[in-house]
Structure formats: structure tokens, C-alpha cells
Amino acid sequence: MRHRVRSLVQFISGERIIWTMPRSPALYLTFDDGPTEGVTDRILDILDDYGMSATFFVEGKKVEKNWVLAMEIHRRGHLLANHSYSHCREIYDSYSRIKQEITSTNHILESITGERPRYFRPPWGVYNNAGLLWACRRLQMKILLWSFDSKDSFDDVRNYTRTNRISSAQMHDIVLMHDDNALAVEILQRELPEIRRRNMVARRLPE
Ligand SMILES: [Zn+2]
């Protein structure tokens, strides 16, 4: 049933929704809800240590607060992508609201990278919303979801017993993580050695 709903929404959206990268020989780490001082910078250092790259789905309002950090994400070769401006429930209230959330964040990111973002990740993974589908179609953006949830937002840094081990993800998986708290740092420190041992590589999404 769930698959049928997905297929239908995929058809309506004009094939704009992505859950995995099927023809790709890499793993795709994605970080939502940043950039966050004291977390995102540590993630960048760990990724550097392992020669891996990732995609950061940032919030426009947080980029305005942490401008230097957002520039650093780009400077170190990672991909900056759009996760709305304000990340509140009301963004789905109307077509004009969601479109405005996406375009304002696109402008912010474009002023850093010089390029218009191609990917939008809807907050909470909502994709069956007509206004959202129409806005992404008009803006020629892909809706980027995930195939592997690390569940790092369901746990806390002192006790990460419920998180899924990202080293068990497969090639072509898109892995959901969050850089708004330090748990992602702990997970990467634990899991990247194992990912390397399995001869897997993490890459940013293709542009
Ligand atoms: Zn989010």
C-alpha cells in the first residue's frame, strides 16, 4: 500500500522524488537541521579525516546566523542543499508559503555557492503535499528523501541505543542524519572506521 502511494505521488510529481541513488557505487550521508556551531564544524573535521564528503540540508534562517560555518561546508567540498527557511509546520499551509520558503533559502545558498540548489528536503519528510510538489516542479528542484534512517533524532548523546548503525547501510543508500545536536558526531566517530573497513565511500549528492 505504502509503495502504491509512493508510486502515485512519484507519478504526479513528474518523477521528482528521490529515495535512493540506484546506479551509484557510493553511500550518501545527509545532515539536516544545521548548520550548528560546535557540531557541524566537528562533523566537517571527521569527514576530512576519512576523506569522505556529504550533503548538508540546511535551514535558511540558521545559515543567516551561522554564515561562516555554511561557507566552510561549501569550501570543504560538501554540498549545501535546501531544507526550508524556517522549518515550521506552517510551511505546508499553502503553495505560496512553501514556494517562498524554498526560494528564499535558494537565494541565501546561491550567494554562498554561486549555484542554484537542485535539491529540497521537506521538513519531516512530508512529500504528499500538493503545494510542495507543485512548487518543486515550478522551481525545477528534486525532492530528496532517504532510504536509511540513522534515527539520531530519536535518541540522545548519552544513550544512543536506538540509533541504527549507519555502517550497515548499503551502497546507493541515502542516509538521514542531523547536525543540530552532538549525537551525529559520536555516531560518525564510531561508524566511519567500519564504513572504511567495508571499502565503502561516502559522497555528496551529484549536482
Ligand atoms: Zn528537519
Gap from CA of 197 to ligand 1 centroid (Å): 30
Gap from CA of 77 to ligand 1 centroid (Å): 22
The radius of gyration of the chain's CA atoms, rounded to the nearest angstrom, is 16
Q: Give yes or no for a cis peptide into 25 (omega within 30° of 0).
A: no
**What's the pLDDT tens digit per position in 105-124?**
999 999 999 999 999 999 99
Q: What domains, with CATH codes, occur in the chain?
A: 11-197 (3.20.20.370)
Gap from CA of 55 to ligand 1 centroid (Å): 13
Taking CA atoms, 88 is separated from 13, 24, 124, 204, in Å, by: 23, 33, 10, 26
**What's the pLDDT tens digit per position in 7-19?**
767 666 666 899 9
pTM above 0.85?
Answer: yes
Gap from CA of 48 to ligand 1 centroid (Å): 24
Distance CA 106, CA 85 (A): 9
